[in-house]
Structure 1
Amino acid sequence: MNILQAHQYNQGIGKHKLLSSTAGVGSIITTKFGTYVLISDINKWQFVTIFNNRIKNLLQSPPKDIYDGIKREAKNLGLTLVDDKRFVKFIQHEKELNNLECLVAIPQMALNEMFNSVNWTKKVHGRTEPAHPIAMKLNEINGNSGKAEDYQIQGTHFPKWFLGAKKVNGKQDLKKIDEWKDLWDKKRIDKNTFSPPRDANVPIKDSNGDQIKNTYWDANNVQRSIPLYKELSQTNLILICPNGHLSDIPWSKYLNWKTQKETFQLPREDSGENLFTIEPCCSNPDLKWSESTTKSEGYGSIYIECSKCRLGSGDSKEKPKITLEGINSLKPKCPGHKPWEIDPKNPEYLPYEKCHKNGDEKSKDREVMNVALVTANNTYYANGFSSLFIPMHLAEEKTEELYGALVRLNEKYQSECERREKQNRVIRSKNEYWDNLDIEGFIYDDEGLQPTNFESFVEILKGEFLNEKEDENGEDFHENYRFQEYKCFSQNSFFEGKEENKGLSFRDIHLSKSLSEYFVKIQQVDELKVTNIQFDFTRVKPKERIVKVSENGDRDIQESSAGQNIFSISNSEEELHVMPANETLGEGLFFQFDDQKIENWLKNNPTLYTRFSHYLDREINPKLQGASFMQKIKNNGIKHFLIHSFSHMMMRELEFSCGYPTASLKERLYISSNPEKQMSGVLIYTAEGSEGSMGGLVSQGEPEKILEIIKKGLERSVNCSSDPLCWESEGQGIYDLNLSACFSCSLVAETACEEMNLGLDRRVLVDEEFGFFVKMLK
């Protein structure tokens, strides 16, 4: 299929991949055309921008219920709101986005395989009618179908350097894409046909020497003819920075720098730290690129020269031939480039910021960049986060009526404070505000509540309003967030969400004597909703969050790098009210272990400490890769190995016994040895659309079935095809964080595991001497 117009130059990416570890904001994707495209930040995604502006206008004169108003605006735009207020509150704190109001689902933009464009509209009896679900919704609500491009993801070519389609004496022109575009425009070729990027100097001709033309039908159903030109080829070398920055190699400057090294004007050990400040080879470079036909010397077989100043030509000793040999040792100081923030309306301007060593703004040194292939694994590491939907009143451990009244009361108080501030009046304290509040009018008229005991309700509301807990310094908000989910399951035996709380439904199962020896409860989670977003991203090394716990229980939280946000806010007047997210529905099984049983097990098995002392006693360097996993295991102790290994055993047994591929299952670990937030549980759940997401997994939670599955899983864990090597292992896997656990017995699909298949040991489950479940096997 020939791509003839700009609107056909699309790449089909599923909406879930856009927030995955491989293809989020700032990632470089390889298109089906062989080019590389860098995904732009969310402020360049039109549907986010349009929705953000709608919310901004709404907040200037807000309705009584702001969230209902936002829901209406989303509906008018054909968008789906991701309803998770708890998650929004967490993101506000985590990313310091105080103006964030909501999350919106990324639209699914499937492409037509025949024309490589979105099936947005269709012709019916000469009339244009909507074809895409969003277009249909827009047409129904607003009377027009909108534009497909408003709901597609923005991207920009990267690297910017392209090679010409024609070789002269084995050499190709090397120019930036804007230079190739200028050449295209000068020849007055249809600007809509420059995608994929084409060489205006190389028309495609038939055997008679005539230029080949293709016909197409435009939007007005008029047949047109397009001359065809050969496509350019993109270079594949880039510079990456641990702080997330990304740069093109400035080839004309590289040519000058390498020439100076070859002619001993620079010391041989110079690694190009000043590459971006050195002068280009000449004032008007005309670069040529050539490759040896054998390519036997790797980068040493690729030559670069300038036909204007003749650097790299080999004409003289002062102008030797220049190859890319040794380019991997190039380590320039980072200029802080952020090409994913390039504005499509101003593509010539490259956004940048100061780049400090290790992301430390106090450091005067700049970070060093590394050369990488576009397709290398270390060019992109996304830092995502997932949230299990929990209604706010459950998360806050309040009744629904009390939580709703408290929210509205705080809103009324904040509105009065803002009004008094504008009027230069003294802002009243919460106590003064409460004393002057018509509480009966607020509860009966404003809220429409009918509390069973009015006096008791008012007393509780007053206490909650006047004594709201402030955020504590040093508190681990990630742990708090997970603890809310754990408490929701552990402190409630049954919950069925109403229409406004749709997305969570669970119930306890009856535990037999065999199960109650180990578990406090097992729950069938008939319905759950998981929301995923991307916080930021890094390059070179993944971002790690390290939580060190001191002897007195204080928690020191460090991050290995600052990373780059997926949004761009250039000044204080800009506000981000919405972030894109993906929402999946599923079902699951929740297991809560008996803490007392675990404590007794640890006390009665002294050999356990000997087995795990290496992980529990060592001092961990936070700068080491993998430090976050090592520290988490040290904090949680042997319990981490127990619960995580049980989770993997269950997922693998569900695969063997019931036919669920582990790729269709996921785990959510609830493990903490923090005395104030003790957690000992795991949720195993399905992803939307996967096998077992229509009641199959929940059915395995029936009391008779679940006992049988656990027993079979334990029996299977006794043996491994890699034994005795696996059973007797003293450390295997990444960072040696697994003991008796390998692909043959314990590891699952990477998408299923929260901890990169680390912190596993099947012997803590079944070893005859110290196994936690050893009695169940007898």
Structure 2
Amino acid sequence: MRILPLRRSQLVGSNGPGSLVVSPEGETAIVGALDYWFQNSSGKEVTSRAEFEIHEPRLKGFLGVNKLYSPPDFRDVSSDIANSKLYIPLLRFPKWHYCSFCSMMREFNYTIENTRSYCNECNKQQYFKQVPFIVICSNGHISDFPWHEWVHENEGSTCRGRLKLITMGGATLDSWVVKCSCNSKRSLKGITSNASEKRGSSVLGERLNSHSSEYKCRGHKAWCGDEYEECHESPVAILRNSINVYMPQKVSVISIPGEKNMEVDRILNTLEKNIVIKGLLSTTENIDEKIEILLNSLGTLINAEREDYEKAILYLDGSIVENGNTIQTGSPALLRSKEFEKLQQNCSEPYLKVLEEWIKDEDADSQSNIYAPYFEKINRVTKLRETTALSGFKRLSRTDEEGQYSYSASYDSLYHKKLPNNQKWLPASTVYGEGIFIKFDLKEIEEWEKRGEVRDYFKQYMKRISGMNHSIPEIISNPRNIMLHTLSHLLIEEIANTSGYNMASIRERMYLQTNQASLLIYTSAGDMDGTFGGLVRMGKKSSFFELVDKAVANARWCSSDPVCSELGFLQGQGLNGVNGAACYNCSHLPETSCEIGNMYLDRTFLIDSKIGFFNNVF
């Protein structure tokens, strides 16, 4: 496949292993497995990856992997330079093409760069286009459409005659016909439908064979070349540029200091910027030897005890030292609970700066502010660092309904070779930014949830979505979580209108565990200096409550009302009908902004005259 430019941040998201990327000419290629990411054009593995390593022990411990690496950048320089000419592997996919003049089909290999080739039908050089259809399954497999099997209505067919893909110019798949030189022909009607009378099946699986047996996925892992594994899922044909061909699963953390003393922080901060020392540390696994390397390299710069250097090594290796004990960091609840604790107080560290802006009990003017009773604390986060790792991907169905709260514990789909998780690495990226931390008054929320009207409406809501044939995530366990999620969306929309950031660059991070009712609304960028402060200024007391007032006021009326409100109450709307009074005109955000895919939203919990959390305001 030809060389295509890809951003490193895309490789930790929509262009991860197993995804399809599109060239300017419209050709597609599949991104290869992680096994081959640190190889040059001749297939030689790099000797050291230290400069690409990202040190975020909490995230490594949670994911249970050995290392986190930033995707390699391409350096078109002499091979004598370290890590030069590193390519992310791309394989041409789909392999089936058809002649742009006579429609004769031909299968190319994964590595061919140019599809201008000799056509036997035309008797001259012609340009061959990729076919528009591929096959995927819910287990993540992806393969070429079974053209020979489909036209002969038999997956066991041995005929390998010449095929033609002909279109009659219609707007439906009925107008697409595949013909074989043996005179067999068949239209592509219904191949992209995954709805069938049989549960767990698809139209392609049921109709490919003329006899009664069902066609099953072949288990092809095209991003690993001709790699197959056993699979019993029913495959679905799909356009190769469809959005649900590849949906990345990502896990992110906010870097938090304080789990180590100031001297350890200084050591780690220096190491983060020193590629040479990181390279030396990667040459040995012995902790005493690593300590000696640090003492020899940093001893004159940082006057710290040997114990501090040892703590820094333990931290880099994926452990955190607290009160003299080494603890592992793999608890999902711990991942966000520690962030929640740290964001509540003043902090001034290299990667996290928090300023307490407003505290309810300490503000003499709280009584005059109609919104003050609903909040407990507002903090401005003037600097933060977020690290995101790609933990896997899905096909066909949406990402997990729990969004950032759920992830796959097995990363085999990203790899070609079989390795235990603790010997694998995952691609990650680090960005810097700013935000507003909002802590709500838990007593006010609990009193609101005790209202009979709120309980009755929530019971009706849960009864409705439980019949939608999908699993209900644990995060939607009480009315407060839906209310806070909806308010978060409304605040982001209002911030985008006034702060100067576009909506897609602002994100939410919800803290909704037991005894937590908080939001972090933030933005971030790849530059180490972070962003420009437009969002964090909105967190000032003089601006924040006005911001809330506008957001809540906007929630009272949607441009699609009364349809939006009535649909939300009667049957729900959005994916699987899980949203109440919430649609694209009032509450939906770009996919980059929402943690749960614009699901579980309902303005009713905010502004309804009987059950709304803010109904006393009006």
TM-score category of the 2 structures, normalised to the smaller one: 0.7 to 0.9
SS at match of 2:504: helix
Name the structure, 1 or 2, with higher relative contact order (CA <8 Å, separation 6+).
2
Q: Distance in 2 between matches of 1:652 and 1:667?
A: 11
Is the partner of 1:14 in helix, strand or coil?
coil
Matched, 1:200 2:118: yes
**Aligned pair partner of 1:615 in 461, 480, 501:** 461
> Contact conserved, 1:198 with 1:232, CA < 8 A, in 2?
yes
Please state how far the C-alpha of 1:640 moved relative to its aligned partner. 0.7
Aligned to 1:638: 479
Alignment of 1:529-540 (within 5 A): 529-540=385-396
How do 1:440-519 residues align onto structure 2 when only pairs under 5 Å count? Answer: 446-447=306-307, 465=325, 477-490=331-344, 493-497=345-349, 502-511=350-359, 512=363, 513=366, 514=369, 516-519=372-375
Kept in 2: contact 1:291–1:301 (CA 8 A): yes
Query: Do the aligned residues in 2 keep the contact of 1:51 with 1:74 (CA within 8 Å)?
Result: no
**Correspondence list, 1:16-415, <5 A:** 16-20=9-13, 22-46=14-38, 54=47, 74-75=50-51, 79=52, 81-92=53-64, 97=65, 100-107=66-73, 144=81, 147-148=84-85, 150=86, 152-164=87-99, 167=102, 172-178=103-109, 195-201=113-119, 230-255=126-151, 257-258=152-153, 275=155, 278-281=156-159, 285-291=160-166, 293-295=168-170, 298-299=173-174, 301-306=176-181, 311=182, 313=183, 320-325=184-189, 327=191, 329-331=203-205, 332-342=215-225, 350-355=226-231, 366-391=232-257, 393-394=258-259, 399=261
Which 5+ residue runs of structure 2 have no aligned equivalent?
A: 193-202, 206-214, 268-284, 288-303, 310-320
Cα distance in 1 for residues equivalent to 2:373 and 2:44? 53
In the alignment, residue 435 of structure 2 is paired with which amino acid?
Answer: G
Q: Given the superposition, is the C-alpha separation of residues 382 and 40 from structure 1 closer, same or farther in structure 2, using an over 3 Å criterion?
A: same
Aligned partners of 1:165 and 1:202 also within 8 Å? no
Question: Could you tell me whether the CA contact under 8 Å between 1:164 and 1:199 is conserved in 2?
Answer: no
1:685 aligns with 2:522: yes
Deviations 1:427-446 (A, max 9, x none): xxxxxxxxxxxxxxxxx963
2: CA distance, partners of 1:253 / 1:743: 42
Distance 2:479 2:452 in 1: 12
Residues 531/251 of structure 1: CA separation in 2 closer, same or farther (3 Å cut): same
> What are the within-5 Å matches in structure 2 for residues 739-778 of structure 1?
739-775=580-616, 777=617
Q: Retained in 2: the 8 A contact 1:162–1:174?
A: yes
CA offset digits 1:232-287 (Å, max 9, x no partner) = 211222221211112223433444x42xxxxxxxxxxxxx5xx2xx1421xxx341
Q: 1:565 is matched with which residue: 404, 407, 413?
A: 413
**Residues 597-656 of structure 1 deviation map (CA, whole Å, 9 limit, x = unaligned):** 2112223x22111221123457947x934x245x431x2x01112211221221122233
Aligned partner of 1:433 in structure 2 is none
Query: What letter matches 1:36 in structure 2?
Result: T
**TM-score, normalization: structure 1?**
0.62
After superposition, the C-alpha distances for 1:669-694 in whole angstroms (9 at most, x for unaligned) are: 1112x3xxx2210000013179x930
Structure-1 residue corresponding to 2:509: 668
Describe the shift of the 1:563–1:720 C-alpha distance in structure 2 as closer, same or farther (beyond 3 A).
Answer: same
Cα distance per residue 1:22-70 (max 9 Å; x no partner)? 4321122232222221111121213599998646xxxxxxxxxxxxxxx
Say which of 432, 435, 438 aligns to 1:591: 438
Uncovered stretches (5+) of structure 1, i.e. residues with no partner: 1-5, 56-72, 110-119, 122-134, 182-193, 206-210, 212-228, 259-271, 314-319, 343-349, 356-365, 406-413, 417-443, 450-460, 472-476, 548-556
| Aligned residue identity for 1:614 | Q
| Equivalent AA in structure 2 for residue 753 of structure 1 | C
Checking the alignment, whether the CA contact within 8 Å between 1:657 and 1:709 is kept in structure 2 is no
Cα distance in 2 for residues equivalent to 1:761 and 1:176 = 50
Q: Secondary structure at the match of 1:510?
A: strand
- C-alpha separation between the residues in 1 aligned to 2:34 and 2:224? 9
Q: SS state of the match for residue 531, structure 1?
A: strand
Which AA in structure 2 matches 1:173? M
Q: 1:534 to 1:607 in 2, by over 3 A?
A: same
Change (3 A) 1:470 1:445: closer
Shift of 1:485: 1.4
1:624 aligns with one of 469, 477, 480: 469
Partner Cα distance (1:43, 1:327) in 2: 34
The structure with the largest alpha-carbon Rg is 1
Deviation at 1:589, TM superposition (A): 0.2
Task: In structure 1, give the amino acid aligned to 2:108.
Answer: I
Residue 654 of structure 1 aligns to a residue in which SS?
Answer: helix
Residue 510 to residue 719, structure 1, CA distance change in 2 (3 Å): same
CA distance in structure 2 between the partners assigned to 1:725 and 1:201 by the alignment: 56
Q: 1:734 aligns with which of 570, 575, 582?
A: 575
The residue that corresponds to 1:14 in the other structure is 7
2 CA distance for matches of 1:335 and 1:26?
16
Cα-to-partner distance string for 1:537-569 (whole Å, 9 max, x where unaligned): 22222353779xxxxxxxxx9989978622233
CA offset at residue 373 of structure 1?
2.1
Residue of 520, 532, 544 corresponding to 2:400: 544
Equivalent residue in structure 2 for 1:600, among 437, 447, 450: 447
Equivalent residue letter for 1:607: E
Aligned residue type for 2:218: P
- Whole-Å Cα distance in 2 between the matches of residues 106 and 484 of structure 1? 31
- 2:482 alignment partner, SS class: helix
Preserved contact between residue 354 and residue 382 of structure 2 (Cα < 8 Å) = yes
Partner Cα separation in structure 1 for residue 378 and residue 522 of structure 2: 13
- Alpha-carbon distance, 1:592 to partner: 0.9
Give the Cα–Cα distance (whole angstroms) in 2 for the partners of residues 483 and 36 of structure 1.
42
| Structure-1 separation of matches of 2:588 and 2:452 | 27
Kept in 2, the 8 Å contact 1:538–1:563? The answer is: no
User: Is the CA contact 2:499–2:534 (under 8 Å) kept in the aligned structure 1?
Assistant: no
Residue 291 of structure 1: how far off its partner (Å): 1.8
Deviation at 1:465, TM superposition (A): 3.5
Residues 201 and 773 of structure 1: is their aligned pair in 2 closer, same or farther, counting only changes over 3 Å? closer
Cα offset, 1:302, TM superposition: 1.6
Letter in 1 for 2:164: W
SS in 2 for 1:699: helix
Q: SS of the residue aligned with 2:554?
A: helix
* Cα pair 1:302 1:323 within 8 Å, conserved: yes
Deviation per residue, 1:403-422 (Å, 9 max, x gap): 999xxxxxxxx979xxxxxx
Percent of residue pairs identical:
24
SS at match of 2:325: helix
Q: Is contact 2:140-2:413 (8 Å) kept?
A: no
